[in-house]
Amino acid sequence: MFEKNISILGSTGSIGTQTLEIVENNPDKYNVVALTTNSNIDTLINQAKKFHPNLLVVNDSSLKDELWNKLKEENLNNIKIASGQEGMIQAGEMAEAELVVVSVVGFSGVIPTISALKADKDVALANKETLVAAGEQVMRLSHQSKGRLLPIDSEHSAIFQALMGEKNDSVNKLILTASGGPFFGKTKEELYNISPKDALKHPNWDMGNKISIDSATLMNKGLEVIEAHWLFNIPFEQIDVVIHPQSIVHSLVEFVDGAMKAELGLPDMRIPIQFALGYPQREANNFERLDLTDFDLTFKKPDTKTFPCLSLAYQAGKIGGSMPCVLNAANEQAVYQFLAKKITFLQIPELIEKVMEKHEVIKNPSIENLISVDNWARKATDENIT
């Protein structure tokens, strides 16, 4: 008898594959019931051979027949397949799943997260863009759902752990730590000619392309400030960011009496993933341990002049309504254009700011409103490329 049946949305990515490592290390605790990819069907099939899910989903519907033919060749045609957003929703709400790991990237996480919460599943959320774009709607649903919303993002996992056993009104401030990314300490002049290859080299974490660029621009921390605002119901004025290049302290909570609690560890995403999968149980593992004497821990103020994305995110978060959705969509589009070498590194924040300026805020947007706002902001980003 397994303890938990899990569905992993985005199983072929960085968080998805690390989630499967946890499952593999704990064969009698977790059983995989669904795996999904955007287009990487070969990896998906290899994962299916190992984990025997009930359902496989390829988001890119044009690959559905190819997936089916390849499964037949492997004698795996007892596994159900689905595609597109409908398939992603199915993987989020399927009866067999008890916990849904949302580790897809970008706005594509919003709809499946909503489906999983509506179906009363526990949701382990890595996909921060969901809470940035639709934080209010998702939190409302999570309060109505019998399922729990558990953070995987390391900073939020740290805060979640620091808050365990504490009362809401004991919190004075959340302090998110940021590594500073590969360009910490650089001046704007030094960032003119940054290539995607340079920007993808994160000093401490090995992650998917989009979040690696977000870490280099500091937008990742900006998105995390908005994520923390919604997850922990804390005003933006009480959320601070400090640069901590060693990535050992994964974030802190300052309480009203001046005491601070933090969670520390090596930069290893498997720890917060395992915590979310097993919650409320802590499981033993054989991951490398932190030796505190190996590190000098330092903390510095962020340079928001050189890295304006962090300020843009605070601005969007404080404006609220549909503005964070615009920030998120413009950022996604700008990051993809930077990776495609269509714009420079410094154009990323410039474009986001321009698109935010053009947006007429919708105060209490519905999910349908957010979907159109997301589309509009992507188009507006492209139209503003000079």
Q: How far is the CB of 134 from ligand NDP (least distance, A)?
A: 13
The listed partner (ligand NDP, Mg ion, none) that binds 269, CB under 5 to 8 Å by sort, is: ligand NDP
User: Residue 224's closest CA among 317, 136, 335, 359?
Assistant: 317
Residue choice 6, 15, 213, 313 for contact with ligand NDP (CB under 6 A): 15
d(CA 193, CA 8): 38
- Give the three-class secondary structure for 2: coil
Q: How far is the CB of 37 from ligand NDP (least distance, A)?
A: 4
d(CA 241, CA 243): 7
d(CA 84, CA 35): 13
d(CA 332, CA 337): 9
DSSP state of 125: E
Instruction: Break the chain down into helix, strand, coil percent, rounded to 5.
Output: 50, 15, 35
User: Residue 121's closest CA among 36, 33, 12?
Assistant: 33
**Residue ranges in 178-207 that form contacts with ligand NDP under rule CB under 6 A:** 205, 207
Is 384 annotated in some ligand binding site? no
**Residue ranges in 298-337 that form contacts with ligand NDP under rule CB under 6 A:** none
Single-letter amino acid, residue 69: N
Q: Which is nearer to ligand NDP, 128 or 359 (CB)?
A: 128
Residue choice 5, 6, 7, 14 for contact with ligand NDP (CB under 6 A): 14
d(CA 244, CA 302): 9
Q: How far is the CB of 207 from Mg ion (least distance, A)?
A: 9
Q: How far is the CB of 46 from ligand NDP (least distance, A)?
A: 12
Residue choice 199, 269, 352, 373 for contact with ligand NDP (CB under 6 A): 269
Please state, in angstroms and as integers, the Cα–Cα distance from residue 320 to each residue in 141, 228, 323, 324, following that order: 18, 14, 6, 6
Q: How far is the CB of 327 from Mg ion (least distance, A)?
A: 17
Q: How far is the CB of 243 from ligand NDP (least distance, A)?
A: 17
**Residue ranges in 139-178 that form contacts with Mg ion under rule CB under 5 A:** 153-155
The strand pair at 260-264 and 249-255 is best described as antiparallel
Residue choice 5, 19, 38, 322 for contact with ligand NDP (CB under 6 A): 38
User: Residue 54 is encoded by which pair of tokens?
Assistant: 């009930």
d(CA 97, CA 249): 33
Residue 263 engages Mg ion in binding (rule: CB under 5 A): no
Q: How far is the CB of 88 from ligand NDP (least distance, A)?
A: 6
Residue 7 engages ligand NDP in binding (rule: CB under 6 A): no
**CB crowding 208-226: b at 16 or more within 10 Å, else e:** bbbbbbbbbbbbbbbbbbb
Is 220 annotated in some ligand binding site? yes
Residue 359 engages ligand NDP in binding (rule: CB under 6 A): no
Is 215 annotated in some ligand binding site? yes
d(CA 348, CA 227): 21
Stretch that binds ligand NDP, among 32-40, 66-74, 131-139, 280-288 (CB under 6 A): 32-40
Contact call for residues 309 and 218 (beta carbons, < 8 A): yes
Is 127 annotated in some ligand binding site? yes
Binding site for Mg ion (CB under 5 A): 153-155
> Which parts are annotated binding residues for NADPH?
12-15, 40, 127, 129, 208
> Which parts are annotated binding residues for 1-deoxy-D-xylulose 5-phosphate?
128, 154-155, 179, 202, 215, 220-221, 224
Binding site for ligand NDP (CB under 6 A): 10-16, 37-40, 59, 88, 103-105, 108, 126-129, 153, 205, 207-211, 269
